[in-house]
């Protein structure tokens, strides 16, 4: 049966990078039904909401959803629940995509594009498994309140339950078995109860079901340092929503640019996946044709692999990105001069 893909281009460079994915889809001539909907600031402008109920329903009934990016200065003054970013959090939550896979791979041609020396990043292949629908992003109470005397209080709550920790840890252990069989779990169990629970639950699941996988634990601040000291020590990293957000942006620079890192958010088997480059709407370069489309294109490849049953096409797309980079095709962020569209053209030519 024909699989369906919902594109959510969003804001800023989102439509620019998704535009290159659309051209790639045309070149691949796949049997996929592609639809599109407004998301983020673009949806706020049209409907007053960052995502409508109808778009959420369409996303949940598609086989895969691929987004560009949301947000920007135009909508930054809105109340939190009316911001573009709130639409993304709602979508992740309603799709139930609790495990966000963020592979930080350094393509051979980009070993000199990182801000670290070549020897530290050459051959780098880390897989972040970031918890995506819990933690401080969703915990209650939250808000800003007046507490008198001209003082206000901003509140967010970090909260995790055992089952939320175990299901994402399970994903990490399962994926590790297909790689170098090593998982490092990051938390701050030294200062946070939610971190202590995280460590205990990961340890218990490991002991009960995944003793064949090597498990280590690291405090998240130390991991931030170790990632730039000796990043190749890591294979699979499992961590919470906020630490996973920060550490994966840090790791993106090991691969050359934030514009290189794709992601796949998955939940229960059989449910649609949500695919997103990890970068944002990049207001500083939006509208100038400067964005690197690789993260979006590689996210599309992950959608082909995990949700659309097109493994061969996924291999082709990933190989084409590698080949284009090896042939010297580069946008500005990775040391070249190509525009977004020229980079897309180079990847299509390398298919």
Spatial separation of the C-alpha atoms in residues 309 and 342, rounded to whole Å = 29
Based on the residue annotation, tell me whether 125 is a catalytic residue of this protein.
Answer: no
Interface map 277-306 toward ligand IPM (x if CB under 6 A)? -x-x--------------------------
50 binds, among Mn ion, ligand IPM, ligand NAD, none (CB under 5 to 8 A by kind): none
Binding ligand IPM (rule: CB under 6 A), the pick from 85, 240, 310, 318 is 85
- Total residues interacting with ligand IPM, rule: CB under 6 A: 7
The distance of closest approach from Cβ of residue 190 to Mn ion in the complex, given in angstroms and rounded to an integer, is 24
Spatial separation of the C-alpha atoms in residues 131 and 139, rounded to whole Å = 13
307 binds, among ligand IPM, ligand NAD, Mn ion, none (CB under 5 to 8 A by kind): none
Q: Which is nearer to ligand IPM, 85 or 201 (CB)?
A: 85
**Given the rule CB under 6 A, which residues bind ligand NAD?**
13, 17, 69-72, 85, 88, 257-259, 276, 279-285, 291-292, 295, 333
Q: Which is nearer to ligand IPM, 89 or 264 (CB)?
A: 89
Of 98, 137, 210, 275, which one is the catalytic site residue? 137
Based on the residue annotation, tell me whether 315 is a catalytic residue of this protein.
Answer: no
**Given the rule CB under 5 A, which residues bind Mn ion?**
245
Of 249, 271, 322, 323, which one is the catalytic site residue? 249
Residue 81 among known ligand-binding residues: yes
11 binds ligand IPM (CB under 6 A): no
Residue 324 among known ligand-binding residues: no
Spatial separation of the C-alpha atoms in residues 92 and 73, rounded to whole Å = 22
Residue 77 among known ligand-binding residues: yes
Of 188, 199, 210, 275, which one is the catalytic site residue? 188
310 binds ligand IPM (CB under 6 A): no
Question: Can you give the chain as a three-state secondary structure string?
Answer: CCEEEEEEEECCCHHHHHHHHHHHHHHHCCCEEEEECCCCHHHHHHHCCCCCHHHHHHHHCCCEEEEEECCCHHHCCCCHHHCHHHHHHHHHHHHCCCEEEEEEECCHHHCCCCCCCHHHHCCCEEEEEEECCCHHHCEEEEEEEEEECCEEEEEEECCCCHHHHHHHHHHHHHHHHCCCCEEEEEECCCCCHHHHHHHHHHHHHHHHHCCCCEEEEEEHHHHHHHHHHCHHHCCEEEECHHHHHHHHHHHHHHHCCHHHCCCEEECCCCCCEEECCCCCCCCCCCCCCCCCCHHHHHHHHHHHHHCCCCHHHHHHHHHHHHHHHHCCCCEHHHCCCECHHHHHHHHHHCC
The distance of closest approach from Cβ of residue 216 to Mn ion in the complex, given in angstroms and rounded to an integer, is 25
Residue 125 among known ligand-binding residues: no
240 binds ligand IPM (CB under 6 A): no
245 binds ligand IPM (CB under 6 A): yes
The distance of closest approach from Cβ of residue 215 to ligand NAD in the complex, given in angstroms and rounded to an integer, is 29
Sequence ranges of the binding site for substrate: 92, 102, 130, 221
Residues within the interface to ligand IPM (CB under 6 A): 71, 85, 88-89, 245, 278, 280
Catalytic positions, written as ranges: 137, 188, 221, 245, 249
């Amino acid at each position: 049966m024909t699989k369906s893909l919902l594109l959510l281009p969003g804001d800023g460079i989102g439509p620019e990078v998704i535009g290159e994915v659309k051209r790639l889809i045309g070149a691949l001539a796949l049997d996929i039904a592609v639809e599109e909907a407004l998301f983020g600031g673009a949806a706020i402008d049209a409907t007053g909401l960052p995502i409508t109920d109808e778009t959420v329903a369409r996303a949940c009934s598609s086989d895969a959803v691929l987004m560009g990016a949301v947000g920007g200065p135009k909508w930054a003054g809105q109340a939190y629940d009316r911001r573009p970013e709130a639409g993304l959090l709602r979508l992740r939550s309603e799709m139930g995509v609790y495990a966000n896979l963020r592979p930080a791979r350094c393509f051979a041609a980009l070993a000199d594009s990182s801000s670290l020396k070549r020897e530290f990043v050459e051959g780098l292949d880390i897989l972040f498994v970031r918890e995506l629908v819990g933690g401080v992003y969703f915990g209650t109470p939250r808000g800003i309140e007046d507490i008198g005397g001209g003082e206000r209080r901003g509140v967010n709550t970090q909260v995790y339950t055992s089952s939320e920790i175990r299901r994402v840890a399970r994903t990490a252990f399962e994926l590790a078995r297909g790689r170098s069989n090593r998982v490092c779990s990051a938390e701050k169990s030294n200062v946070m109860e939610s971190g202590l629970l995280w460590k205990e639950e990961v340890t218990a699941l490991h002991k009960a079901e995944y003793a064949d996988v090597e498990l280590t634990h690291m405090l998240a601040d130390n991991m931030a340092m170790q990632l730039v000291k000796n990043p190749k020590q890591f294979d699979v990293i499992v961590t919470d929503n906020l630490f996973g957000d920060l550490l994966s942006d840090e790791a993106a620079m090991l691969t050359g640019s934030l514009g290189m890192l794709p992601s796949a958010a998955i939940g229960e088997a059989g449910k649609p996946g949500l695919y997103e480059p990890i970068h944002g709407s990049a207001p500083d370069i939006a509208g100038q044709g400067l964005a690197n489309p690789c993260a979006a294109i590689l996210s599309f490849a992950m959608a082909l692999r995990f949700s659309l049953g097109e493994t061969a096409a996924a291999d082709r797309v990933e190989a084409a990105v590698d080949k284009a980079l090896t042939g010297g095709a580069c946008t500005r962020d990775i040391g070249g001069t190509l525009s977004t569209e020229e980079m897309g053209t180079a990847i299509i030519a390398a298919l």
